[in-house]
């Protein structure tokens, strides 16, 4: 899966969780301050992403994810791990 | 036992799933469509889609189950609409009971709250015998929990057992619910608060108690699960010492605290977010009574963990998931 595809999926999920148009969501946006997601919504984002991409992401892994770009990077890292396994 | 857990992705739910797995049992875990299931995925347990307002999902989830743990009782985000909360809670509970009866579930363990435990005459510790005769009128949460518990205990199509845990502390409070005051204190925030009796229990002990309740050949119908009781102000002072932060301010008078909560709830309703102090928490503190959990100790063989053991476990977990920052001072202390 290309980085663009991962980013599109992340953006799509975010747009389901907060009232922001997908085209307005940028990698540098902070989940909380810029997109208005609280800690519950940002956990939901990562949970939905883990389910959609079948990633073995743990609660501890997502604790430091605060931006759209970091979410994409986390997904890519776990996709790469899955590929190796 | 073939258990289904409603509310499996929540704080108590995750601890219950762990307790069931420890017993060699594999629960089917009810999960709403939109919820954080990262922790359930880590446990590699089967999940099933359940919505309390969609009875068909409950019936499908309960097929072939003999025990249902209901940990998903309605908990309104705010206390501003008591009648809506009551109707929602009762409608959803009715749906769970109907589905369980239709599916031939043998036993349902319903998790209520110590909000339903009335003061003992004479001021001593309250036991399972102490129940409010009518719904308490001092708060949405208390009224809701009373109505739901009363309905659960009236059920006659299947065996329903009621567990009343006090404030649960410990690992996996991902939404920082009961732990909110604890986390605020650890972070050095001085949250305005009333004073009163608060009771606590380790979520892992509650989970074990629920499993034992489900397995018991002739269980009590209503069991209090609580490790200890103290005044909130004393507890906050102990916590401030533990986390090496300034001691808490003096408590607010009851009326002042309730006015603060109500103003915070109105703000949260308008702007979103959470109130600095939840109204139900203030009600629980102001109307809190000391509790006697001897029945759980005796019939379920529980020995409740100490507060310091519970807090140590919470700290370890909360620092791992960054709910609490790592603190060199804490590490030195340990």
B34–A50 CB contact, under 8 Å: no
Q: What is the mean pLDDT of residues B277-303?
A: 96
Measured between its terminal Cα atoms, the distance across chain A in Å is 16
Q: What is the mean pLDDT of residues B111-119?
A: 96
Q: What is the mean pLDDT of residues A33-49?
A: 88
pLDDT the model gives residue B219? 97
Q: Which residue has the tokens 């603190």?
A: B327
Q: SS in 3 state form for B219-258?
A: CCCEEEECCEEEEHHHHHHHHHHHCCCCCCCCCCCHHHHH
Q: What is the mean pLDDT of residues B237-263?
A: 96
Pair B296, B302: CB distance under 8 Å:
yes
Tally of CB atoms within 10 A around B9: 25
Question: A-chain residues within 8 Å CB-CB of B322?
Answer: 63-64
Beta bridge partners of B135: none
Pair B76, B38: CB distance under 8 Å:
no
pLDDT the model gives residue B177? 83
Beta bridge partners of A26: none
A62–B35 CB contact, under 8 Å: no
pLDDT the model gives residue B305? 98
pLDDT the model gives residue A63? 84
pLDDT for B103 beyond 90: yes
CA–CA separation, B270 and B253 (whole Å): 26
pLDDT the model gives residue B154? 97
Q: Which residue has the tokens 């939404």?
A: B175
A42 burial level (CB within 10 Å; 0-12, 13-18, 19+):
buried
A43–B37 CB contact, under 8 Å: no
Comparing B102-106, B247-251, B274-278, B296-300, the range with the smallest average pLDDT is B274-278
> Can you say whether the dihedral through the CA atoms of B226, B231, B235, B241 is positive or negative?
negative
Task: Give the phi and the psi of residue B200 in degrees, each rounded to 5.
Answer: -130, 165
Pair B314, B282: CB distance under 8 Å:
no
pLDDT the model gives residue B327? 63
Radius of gyration for chain B, computed over Cα atoms and rounded to the nearest angstrom: 19
Q: Which residue has the tokens 């009762």?
A: B90
Percent of chain B with pLDDT over 90: 88
pLDDT range class, residue B25, cuts 50, 70, 90:
very high
pLDDT range class, residue A74, cuts 50, 70, 90:
very high
A26-31 contacts: CB < 8 A, separation 24 or more?
A26/A68, A27/A67, A27/A68, A27/A69, A27/A72, A28/A67, A28/A68, A28/A69, A29/A67, A29/A68, A30/A66, A30/A67, A31/A65, A31/A66, A31/A67, A31/A68, A31/A71
Q: What is the mean pLDDT of residues B139-147?
A: 95
Contact residues, chain B to chain A, C-beta under 8 Å: 34-39, 41-42, 174-176, 272-273, 320-322
pLDDT range class, residue B331, cuts 50, 70, 90:
very low
Question: A-chain residues within 8 Å CB-CB of B175?
Answer: 39-40
pLDDT for B328 beyond 70: no
How does the average pLDDT of chain B come out, rounded? 94
The alpha carbon of B170 is separated from its chain's Cα centroid by a whole number of angstroms, namely 11
Task: Give the phi and the psi of residue A6 in degrees, each rounded to 5.
Answer: -60, -45
CA–CA separation, B256 and B240 (whole Å): 23
Q: What is the mean pLDDT of residues A53-63?
A: 89
Residue-wise pLDDT tens digits, B252-263: 999 999 999 999
Residue of B nearest to A42 (CA): B36
- Which ranges in chain B belong to alpha helices (H)? 11-22, 38-43, 55-62, 82-103, 140-154, 180-186, 203-215, 232-242, 254-271, 279-286, 294-300, 307-320, 328-333
What is the ipTM metric for this complex? 0.86
Select the more confidently predicted residue: A2 or B196: B196
A43–B322 CB contact, under 8 Å: no
Alpha carbon of A5: minimum distance to chain B alpha carbons (Å): 22
A47–B175 CB contact, under 8 Å: no
Question: A-chain residues within 8 Å CB-CB of B36?
Answer: 40, 43-44, 46-47
Beta bridge partners of A67: A30
pLDDT the model gives residue B332? 40
Residue-wise pLDDT tens digits, A7-31: 999 999 999 888 899 999 999 999 9
Closest CB to A51 among B37, B175, B176: B37
Closest CB to B322 among A38, A56, A64: A64
Q: What is the mean pLDDT of residues B140-155?
A: 97
Residue-wise pLDDT tens digits, B176-233: 888 999 999 999 999 899 999 999 999 999 999 999 999 999 999 999 999 999 999 9
Q: What is the mean pLDDT of residues B69-81?
A: 91
């Amino acid at each position: 899966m290309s980085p663009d595809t991962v980013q599109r999926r992340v953006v799509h999920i975010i747009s389901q969780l907060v009232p922001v148009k997908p085209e307005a969501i940028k990698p540098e946006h902070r989940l909380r301050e810029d997109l208005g997601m609280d800690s519950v919504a940002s956990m939901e984002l990562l949970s939905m992403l883990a389910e959609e991409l079948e990633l073995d992401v743990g609660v501890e892994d997502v604790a430091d994810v605060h931006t759209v770009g970091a979410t994409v990077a986390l997904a890519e890292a776990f996709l790469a791990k899955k590929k190796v396994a | 036992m073939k258990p289904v857990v409603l509310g499996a992705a929540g704080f108590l739910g995750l601890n219950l799933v762990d307790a069931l797995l420890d017993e060699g049992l594999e629960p089917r875990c009810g999960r709403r469509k939109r919820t954080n299931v990262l922790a359930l995925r880590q446990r590699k347990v089967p999940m099933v889609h359940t919505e309390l307002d969609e009875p068909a999902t409950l019936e499908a989830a309960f097929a072939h189950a003999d025990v249902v743990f209901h940990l998903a009782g309605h908990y309104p985000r705010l206390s501003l609409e008591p009648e809506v909360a009551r109707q929602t809670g009762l409608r959803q509970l009715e749906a769970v009971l109907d589905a369980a009866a239709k599916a031939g579930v043998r036993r349902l363990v319903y998790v209520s709250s110590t909000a339903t435990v009335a003061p003992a005459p004479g001021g001593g510790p309250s036991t399972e015998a102490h129940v409010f005769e009518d719904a308490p009128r001092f708060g949405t949460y208390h009224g809701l929990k009373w109505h739901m518990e009363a309905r659960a205990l009236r059920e006659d199509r299947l065996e329903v057992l009621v567990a009343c845990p006090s404030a649960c502390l410990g690992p996996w409070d991902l939404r920082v619910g009961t732990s909110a005051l604890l986390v605020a204190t650890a972070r050095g925030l001085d949250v305005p608060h009333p004073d009163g009796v608060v009771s606590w229990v380790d979520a892992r002990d509650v989970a074990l108690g629920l499993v034992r309740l489900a397995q018991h050949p002739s269980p009590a119908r209503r069991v209090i699960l609580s490790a200890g009781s103290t005044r909130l102000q004393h507890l906050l002072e102990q916590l401030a010492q533990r986390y090496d932060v300034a001691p808490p301010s003096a408590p607010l008078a009851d009326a002042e605290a309730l006015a603060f909560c109500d103003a915070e709830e109105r703000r949260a309703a308008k702007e979103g977010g959470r109130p600095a102090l939840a109204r139900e928490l203030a009600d629980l503190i102001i109307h809190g009574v000391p509790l006697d959990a001897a029945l759980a100790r005796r019939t379920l063989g529980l020995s409740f963990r100490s507060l310091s053991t519970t807090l140590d476990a919470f700290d370890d977990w909360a620092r791992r998931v960054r709910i609490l920052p790592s603190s060199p001072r804490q590490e030195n202390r340990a």
